[in-house]
Amino acid sequence: MVPDNLRYTKDHEWIRVDGDTAVVGITDHAQQELGDIVFVELPKVGAAFEQSATFGSVESVKAVSDVYSPASGEVTEVNTSLADAPEKVNSDPYGEGWIMKLRLRDPQQASELMSAADYTAYVGAET
């Protein structure tokens, strides 16, 4: 399950770009590897991140994993529903399990990330 309309990082984040804004989350593969997610550390609205910088973490019953920004920008919104329902990242990683929205500094950065086909091949080579 790798949607074609997203771009992907080697750290298993996804980004959906619409103009100069984007929605960010972790991939289905990442949530499967982590197992049952029990807590999501969200960034603060207004915080700025460079591409590949850590913006939060996802805690599961197995481990805590940092989450990295797929592009540079400023956080405009976070998914506050994850505070009460972090399992949304497991059940709907590309929908209700999104983590943050960014105002992109350079929307071109996202186009340099992996396509769905590239990400599928990357995950296949990883295992």
Would residue 115 count as lying in a domain? no
pLDDT, residue 127, reads 61
* Strand residues in the chain grouped as ranges (E): 7-8, 13-18, 21-26, 37-41, 48-49, 54-60, 64-68, 73-78, 100-104
Instruction: Note down pLDDT in tens along the chain; length 127 residues.
Output: 799 999 999 999 999 999 999 999 999 999 999 999 999 999 999 999 999 999 999 999 989 999 999 999 999 999 999 999 999 999 999 999 999 999 999 999 999 999 999 999 999 986 6
CATH number, domain with residue 16: 2.40.50.100
Would residue 121 count as lying in a domain? no
What domain range is 58 assigned to?
Answer: 7-107
Give the total number of structural domains in the chain: 1
Would residue 41 count as lying in a domain? yes
pLDDT, residue 125, reads 83
Would residue 82 count as lying in a domain? yes
pLDDT, residue 53, reads 98
Would residue 123 count as lying in a domain? no
Max CA-CA distance within the chain? 37
Would residue 60 count as lying in a domain? yes
